Amino acid sequence: MDSETASSLPIGPEAPGRASVLIPLALFTAYDYALPDGFTPPPGAFVSVPLGRRSVTGVVWGDGDLRIDATKLKQIEAALPVPALPDISRRFIEWVAAYNMAPIGSVLRMAMSVPDALEPERETKAWTIGDRTAGKLTEARARVIAALEDGAPLTTGDLADSAGCTPGVVAEMARRGMLRAVALPARRPFGVPDPDRKGPALSEAQQRAVDALVALEPGVTLLNGVTGSGKTEVYFEAIAACLRQGRQALVLLPEIALSAQWLGRFAERFGAPPAQWHSELTGLERRVTWRAVLDGEAKVIVGARSALFLPYRDLGLIIVDEEHESAFKQEDGVIYQARDMAVVRGHLAKIPVILASATPSLETVVNVDQGRYRALHLPDRHGGAELPPVTLIDLRRDKPERQQWLSPSLIRAVHEAIASEGQALLFLNRRGYAPLTLCRDCGHRMQCPSCTAWLVEHRYSARLQCHHCGYQTQMPPACPACGHSGTFAACGPGVERLAEEAALLFPQARRLIITSDTVGGPKKTTELIKMVTERAVDLIIGTQIIAKGHHFPHLTLVGVVDADLGLSGGDLRAAERTYQLLHQVAGRAGRAEKPGRVLLQTYDPDRPVMQALKDHDQTRFLRLEEEDRRVAGMPPFGRLAALIVSGRDEAAVESQVRIMAAAIPRGDIAAGVSVLGPAPAPLAMLRGRHRRRFLIKCRRETAPQPFLRAWLRGLKWPGDLKLQIDIDPYSFL
């Protein structure tokens, strides 16, 4: 008897004859179904069940409720012939749903994101040689036979390609029996990584970190070291150790850090590509990968946050690289923080979790200080490369020309860098041409019709765009308010406008603009990055898309055009994020033999975050931040949760939040909890929906969930009113 059968439901006189089945829809509970005679699926089994008039796939979750008369229940229709969803996956789904107050069915849906992966694998038809004499052996047909002579079966397309004939020739040969069809399993988009290939010789500090990590003790470890210190090399060794135990390893990366460079290094170390999980996969790649994770065939999985919910057969290690990145927070559907959930996943499975970062989040640093996480430190850049010196440019003194954004010192530095055969990067984290377009005659501002947001001009595509909802329109011929034409003025710079300025100032330089509008996904990014590494360009103008994970060996100057950009807006983590982003951008300079330098343009050089960047003094900066948050009782010294109520009818939203305000729980359950609001959210309208916010603040020892449950229980949500619950919010818009 194998372990799966052993843990199946009891049979015999006490047999409940029923099971609860969780269905991957926005449901808060599993539904009960009757079991057909003699059928005892183990917990986790994928089954098909009737739901309304449909048949859906769900997962056996528990025993079912004995109080319900089994004869009234509908029957489970069939079990699918795939391995059960492992126990830990189910406990993880329960945990994520409870903590984030999301419907458990929606969380299961994230784990079952590829429904057709449960169907029998579709095979591709391929050809081998059949009866050669069944038709006339023309020249083209002879080439087809030759292409198959020394080896593996080929699909019609591949065969036609290698024989240099049309698919029609192949089809005709097949019809005559000259070729024989065989079924091929789908190609695996990953390989079998070999842990025992030789990695690079490690420095002493790297080796110490590796020694600590390969022990693979359960618990969380922060791997901290400046960009280029070898964190990736070090965690590769932890992956190797995990592979030697025959277990699976997961590397979570922000999607834009999942670069061809990363994949190339992985393949070099392990001799095979890892399984990937990101938005650019084809349907077939998704299906094959999901199944291979469940079967235990995919050994190393690298992916964006949703990879956390894949059905790992035996996960032995989780690495969260760039753990400080806010991209780990999923902001729609089920709202969750993937880094934090990775820690939970590791805890449930009693496996190690490694958080890697050059600029760890304050949350993680405090967890280290308080002894909950271990920390390993890599002090130096590999090969002794120095961190580039950072100079602050005070824009109040070193003024750019009118309607320009580069100060004289920065312009000079770009000229010097290019003249001495280096490359320069001008960084501005703002897409498009200008963030605001206004009418000079009447002051009208071009605004999104469905959001509280300005339309951003994109001159390359000749459109105005809302960056919140995706609304697009052409630039109108005249001002919609006063009817005058030719009165529009672009206010402020985006990268496109900066590129225009650069073209004026550095006409001889080969320039390249890199933003998410000019690159699609990882594949296109790779092409552009290659142009940089192969020195096909002198000057790069880009947004944060170039800041992560890329290594530019010839880059000697980084100019940050507006270092203050991320600091406005009253976000709890604004300074911390600015530090992380600018430190990361700065780290692009001088990574090889050539020393680099970094210039930051700011209107407020005395701010602690600017001083910390200048002095490379992360610790001092974090201590100051920590103190501010401790005093204010803000995370990680207190907890936050946000409720956003939205609807198309503003009056209905307003009346709903008034009802809610009157229902705020009091008494014991409210001890240590305070509620701020309701107030219009800063994005008071989004996609045509009016939004009001409550912010719930608790002491660290108090969990907000019981309070929220008590509050929300029994509230009705008439019409199209919607409630979004955001535990540990990162966005305050």
* Residues lying near Zn ion in the complex (CB under 5 A): 439, 441-442, 444, 448, 450-451, 466, 468-469, 471, 479, 481-482
Establish if 228 lies at the interface with ligand ADP (CB under 6 A): yes
Pick from 227, 525, 543, 646 the residue near ligand ADP by CB under 6 A: 227
Q: Which CB atom, from 186 or from 202, has the smaller least distance to ligand ADP?
A: 202
168 vs 200 by CB, closer to ligand ADP: 200
- How many Cβ atoms sit within 10 Å of the Cβ of residue 118? 17
**Residue 225 is a binding residue for ligand ADP (CB under 6 A):** yes
Q: If we measure between CA atoms, which residue out of 319, 297, 320, 349 comes closest to residue 249?
A: 319
Tell me the C-alpha distance between 545 and 201, whole Å: 31
Q: Which stretch binds ligand ADP (CB under 6 A): 55-63, 98-106, 164-172, 224-232?
A: 224-232
Closest contact distance (angstroms) between CB of 334 and ligand ADP is 30
* Helix (H) / strand (E) containing 441: none
**CA R_g for the chain:** 29
The maximal CA–CA distance of the chain, rounded, in angstroms, is 92
SS3 266: helix
Q: At what angle do helices 608-615 and 618-632 cross, to 10 degrees?
A: 150
For residue 533, CA distances in Å to 59, 269, 510, 530, 591 come to 49, 21, 14, 5, 12
Our finding on whether 551 is near ligand ADP (CB under 6 A) is yes
Among ligand ADP, Zn ion, none, what binds residue 479 when CB lies within 5 to 8 Å by partner kind? Zn ion
Q: Which is nearer to ligand ADP, 229 or 518 (CB)?
A: 229
203 in contact with ligand ADP (CB under 6 A): yes
For ligand ADP, the binding residue among 20, 156, 229, 248 (CB under 6 A) is 229
Give the residue with the Cβ less far from Zn ion, 318 or 451: 451
CA dihedral sign, ordered 563, 569, 575, 578: negative
Which residue number, 247 or 583, has a Cβ lying nearer to ligand ADP? 583
Give the total of residues touching ligand ADP (CB under 6 A). Answer: 15
The entry of ligand ADP, Zn ion, none near residue 466 (CB within 5 to 8 angstroms by kind) is Zn ion
User: Which position among 305, 339, 382, 497 is part of the footprint of ligand ADP (CB under 6 A)?
Assistant: 382
Q: Which does 232 bind (CB under 5 to 8 A by kind): ligand ADP, Zn ion, none?
A: ligand ADP
Q: Are 223 and 231 in contact (CB under 8 A)?
A: yes
Does residue 269 belong to the site contacting ligand ADP (CB under 6 A)? Answer: no
Element containing residue 384 per DSSP (H, E):
none
Strand 300-303 versus strand 423-427 pairing type: unpaired
Q: Given the complex with ligand ADP, which of 425 and 509 has the nearer CB atom? A: 425
Say if residue 150 is exposed, middle or buried (CB neighbours under 10 Å; 0-12, 13-18, 19+): exposed
Residue 678, preceding bond cis, omega within 30 degrees?
A: yes
* Residue 109 or 382 with smaller CB distance to ligand ADP: 382
DSSP per-residue string spanning 186-241 = PPPSS----TTS--PPPPHHHHHHHHHHHT--SEEEEEEE-TTSSHHHHHHHHHHH
Q: Return the number of the residue (181 or 442) whose C-beta is nearest Zn ion.
A: 442
Residues 231, 378 contacting (CB under 8 angstroms): yes
Q: Please, what is the minimum distance in Å from the beta carbon of residue 691 to Zn ion?
A: 13
Q: What six digits make up the tokens of 641?
A: 């949760």
The least distance separating ligand ADP from the CB of residue 319, rounded to whole angstroms, comes to 11
Least Cβ distance, residue 366 to ligand ADP (angstroms): 22
Structural tokens at position 330: 């999923």
- Binding mask 230-259 toward ligand ADP (x if CB under 6 A, else -) reads xxxx--------------------------
> 679 touches which of ligand ADP, Zn ion, none (CB within 5 to 8 A by kind)?
none
Site for ligand ADP in 173-192 (CB under 6 A): none
Helix (H, G, I), strand (E, B) or coil at 32: strand
For residue 326, the minimal CB distance to Zn ion (Å) is: 21
The secondary structure of residue 156, as a DSSP letter, is H
Q: Can you tell me the distance from the alpha carbon of 322 to that of 616, in angstroms, rounded to the nearest whole number?
A: 18
- How far, in Å, CA of 381 to CA of 587, rounded? 10
User: Among Zn ion, ligand ADP, none, what does residue 578 contact (CB within 5–8 Å per kind)?
Assistant: none
Q: Which is nearer to ligand ADP, 59 or 356 (CB)?
A: 356
Q: Which is nearer to ligand ADP, 228 or 346 (CB)?
A: 228
Nearer to ligand ADP, 108 or 302 (CB): 302
In the chain, the N- to C-terminal Cα span, in Å, equals: 55
Closer CB to ligand ADP, residue 533 or residue 655? Answer: 533
**Which tokens is 231 given?**
């964190």
Q: Which does 230 bind (CB under 5 to 8 A by kind): ligand ADP, Zn ion, none?
A: ligand ADP
Q: Which of 206, 276, 437, 602 is in the footprint of ligand ADP by CB under 6 A? A: 206
202 touches ligand ADP by CB under 6 A: yes
Q: Which of 167, 200, 246, 379 binds ligand ADP (CB under 6 A)?
A: 200
Beta strands 300-303 and 390-394 are unpaired
3-state secondary structure 676-702: EEEEEEEEEEECCEEEEEEEEEEECCC
- For ligand ADP, the binding residues (CB under 6 A) are 200-203, 206, 225, 227-233, 382, 551
